[in-house]
Amino acid sequence: VLSHLKESFTHTPSFDMSPSMQNMLIRLMLAQAQECAFEKMVLPGIRNQYFSLLKVAQEATKVSDVYNLINQSITQAPIKEHVPPAWFYTVQVKLQHYRALAHYFVAVAMLDHQLNSKDDVDQQEMLLSQLYDAMPDGLAPLSILRSKEERKRVGKAHLRKAVMGHEEAVRVQSLCRSLRKIEILQEILRVSHKRSLNKYAEHEQEDDFDMMAAPNIIAKSDQKIEIVKPEFSKVKVVDFFHDLGPISVFSAKQKWTAPRKICLMPGDQDQGFTLEGESAVQVTSLDPASHAARSGLRDGDIIVSVAGRDCKWNSVTELIKMLKEMPENGLDIQVISPQGLETVQLPKCATYSGGLPKTYSLTCLTLDDVQSRKGKKVVKKLSFLNWGSKNTKKMASTVSLPSAVESTPQQVSESTAHFPDALDGSSLY
């Protein structure tokens, strides 16, 4: 999971999600997995045999090495500033503890087991040569196996290093307040330290001044630890964001207005608009003279609910079926519009002809014109109606509505309304 997060989130909001921090956490999880594999292997018990002891020693060295890598990365800035102190001390304790265990098991293999005629000499020699990166004091593996004194020297050297490692683990554990409260950890470190001391006391001599340095043990593990990529398709979870709607429409990149209610009334004809899209149905081809348009519906609106039922995920077919089941008293729907699309008050154009007054509600400005001319200077007209009398015989007056939005700013001169001399009741607007 941590590896998936590192590969998926490139622009992290905090250092906790940064690649360097994620790499450290991934190594820490792998180290704990390696430790669990080792503890599982030794849980039934360790057979007191030469091959088994050396194998366990190399497994313990592997655990110590992976914690050593964690210790190198966790002590570097700025990771050290974002890691709890208990983590830092725990890594060091485990590093020293498992390294000391490895030296203890090698010491037991050298001190408690002697080469006899029934043993496979070649196999023991090969295993001993693969145990060290460099043989102690330049000795040959076969000479160590056949010489009781050399085996004792090498075993005591490993015991001294084991005791020193356990003492360092106890010291580091005592520096952390959180670790001092863990009694089981104190007991494990104490028992391991005492066991190494007792083993060293069995072979200690007063006149023994030989201080051979124990060689480093090569880590080797038969436990395969690897990262398993999560298969999200096999895990069924509840999507907490499902109620928000399709992410392609209802995301932070899209800005919508608050839902508003539109009342649709039944009729013999259609409602005056069409529906498009799948999962977040959109209103298109709206008839300006329809009842829906007069109720406030606009082109580009998204229908989010019908009769109080959420329909953000409904298809066009499902939504049309819901609208066809409209009751006689009408149907309430909720729609949202893209932010920035302001309501435009459409002006009226009135004409007078033949002495019969007629008033028509005409669309003089379309929403597209408003969007294309948005931000341009608006020139205010002083006169609302321009009355002119060009033909006195017909006694007809023409009323024209000037455009409220000009394509380019221009200087407009003041004009006064001119009224004809003869006005009757039919010429009044």
Q: How far apart are the C-alpha atoms of 142 and 136, rounded to whole Å?
A: 13
Q: How far apart are the C-alpha atoms of 348 and 213, rounded to whole Å?
A: 103
- Other CB atoms within 10 A of residue 315 CB: 15
Point out the residues of the chain with pLDDT beneath 70: 117, 206-210, 267-270, 340-429
- Other CB atoms within 10 A of residue 312 CB: 19
Give the pLDDT confidence of 393-423 residue by residue, as tens digits: 444 433 333 444 444 444 444 444 443 444 4
Q: Where are the alpha helices (DSSP H) in 214-261?
A: none
CB distance 154 to 131 below 8 Å: no
pLDDT value of position 405 = 41
Q: Where are the domains of the chain?
A: 2-202, 256-336, 344-429
Q: How far apart are the C-alpha atoms of 93 and 86, rounded to whole Å?
A: 10
Domains 2-202 and 256-336 share a fold: no
**CA 365 → CA 329, 342, 361, 403, distances in Å?**
32, 13, 12, 8
31's CB contacts (< 8 A; 6+ apart) are: 63, 66, 67, 69, 70, 94
CATH code, 2-202 = 1.25.40.280
Query: Full-prediction pTM beyond 0.85?
Result: no
Query: CA 386, 390, 393 angle in degrees (round to 5)?
Result: 130
Selection from 136, 90, 106, 115 nearest residue 219 by Cα: 106
pLDDT value of position 217 = 94
Question: What DSSP string runs through 158-214?
Answer: HHHHHHHHHHHHHHHHHH-HHHHT-HHHHHHHHHHHHHHHHHHHHT--TT----PPP
pLDDT value of position 167 = 97
The residue type of 372 is S
DSSP at 290: S
Query: In sequence order, what are the beta bridge partners of 398?
Result: 388
Q: In the structure encoding, which two tokens stand for residue 391, read together?
A: 């033909």
Give the pLDDT confidence of 265-288 residue by residue, as tens digits: 886 456 788 888 888 899 988 888
Q: Which residues of 57-71 are buried (b: 16+ CB within 10 A; e: fewer)?
A: bbbbbbbbbbbbbbb
Q: In the structure encoding, which two tokens stand for residue 335, read together?
A: 């729609």
CATH code, 256-336 = 2.30.42.10
Token pair 């948005």: residue: 374
Most distant pair of Cα atoms in the chain: their distance: 144
